[in-house]
Structure formats: structure tokens, C-alpha cells
Amino acid sequence: MNYVGWMIFGVVLLLIEILTPTFFFLWFSIAAFLSGILAMFELNLGWQVSAFAIVSTLLVIFTRPIAKKITGESPRKVYVDELKNSVGKVIQDIDSKMGTGIVKISGESWRAVSVDPDRIIKEGEEVLIERVEGTTVYVKPFKGNEEKEVEKA
């Protein structure tokens, strides 16, 4: 009845895989099921553990890159901290009263609000990003001589 332990271990690993958003525990689950099959044929524990270690290692090494590609992890992640103090270009007038405003920063469009709600910033002007809240950037007009480290849009 040694194979029952391997099968239970395989099911537990499979459940962990289902509850986590990775393709990591799946490979160990497959290796546990294979070790359970070896146990059914009454191979000794040394062969079972060796098969588990070798199969899980090979599966992780050779299939993990494929699984990452399938899951579609984004090639570039936007870090909000990078946006602060960078320069963007207004592509839609920023008018707090009208609720309009879009800025292009590093090739990406962001909803924009002026830090001065009474000021309208026209399309084509450059702005300095003061802060980011959610998907909205708070901006002020950028004057080229400001002493800030900035990144051009």
C-alpha cells in the first residue's frame, strides 16, 4: 500500500497548484503520481524517491520556460515610482472643471489632473508628474529649466 501515499501526495500537490497562480507544483504532482505507479510495481523506496527527484527536476527545468510563455507574463511592468518627477506631453487638454485630461508618458497614455484645479493645461504642453494615484497622474506645467531629474516622454 506504499503507492497510496504517493497518490495522496500527488493530489495534495495538485490542489496546491490549483490554489496558486503558478505552474510550479504541477511538475511535482506529476512526479509523485509516477512514483506511485512505480510503487504499484513494488519497486523499492530508493527507486521511487529517485524517480520523484529526477522527474520533478527535469520537468521544472524543461517546461517552466514554456509555462511562463503560455501564461503571458507582461514583458514590461510599469512602476509607479518611475513616473514621479518624469515629464509627459499633454495629448488632451487638462481641465479639472470639464474632467478631461490625458498625458503621454514614456509612450503610455495616463489620465491626468492638474495639481492646480483652476489651471487649464493645453494639448502639446509638457507637464511634470507630481504624484500618481491609481491610474491618474497629478501634473503641473513643466518649465525646461527646473532642477529635477526628468525622463522625456
| pLDDT value for 76 | 52
Whether residue 6 is predicted with pLDDT greater than 50 in this model: the reply is: yes
The model's pTM: 0.47
Cα 119 versus chain centre, distance: 36
Residues 67 and 86 in one domain: no
Residues 7 and 42 in one domain: yes
For the residues 25-43, what does the mean pLDDT come to?
94
Is 151 within a domain? no
- Dihedral-angle region of residue 137 (phi above 0 means left; psi in -120 to 50 means alpha; beta otherwise): beta
Full domain range(s) for residue 20: 2-71
The least confident of 23-27, 33-37, 125-129, 145-149 is: 145-149
Is 50 within a domain? yes
Interatomic CA distance for residues 48 and 41, integer angstroms:
10
The least confident of 41-50, 64-73, 103-112, 131-140 is: 64-73
Percent of the chain with pLDDT strictly greater than 90: 57
Residues 63 and 21 in one domain: yes
CATH of the domain at 127: 2.40.50.140
Is 146 within a domain? no
Residue where a domain terminates, one of 17, 38, 71: 71
Residues 91 and 55 in one domain: no
Residues 16 and 50 in one domain: yes
Express each pLDDT in 120-152 by its tens digit: 999 999 999 999 888 899 999 998 655 444 444
Closest listed residue to residue 128, CA positions, set 100, 87, 98: 87
The least confident of 31-45, 57-71, 79-93 is: 57-71
Residues 117 and 98 in one domain: yes
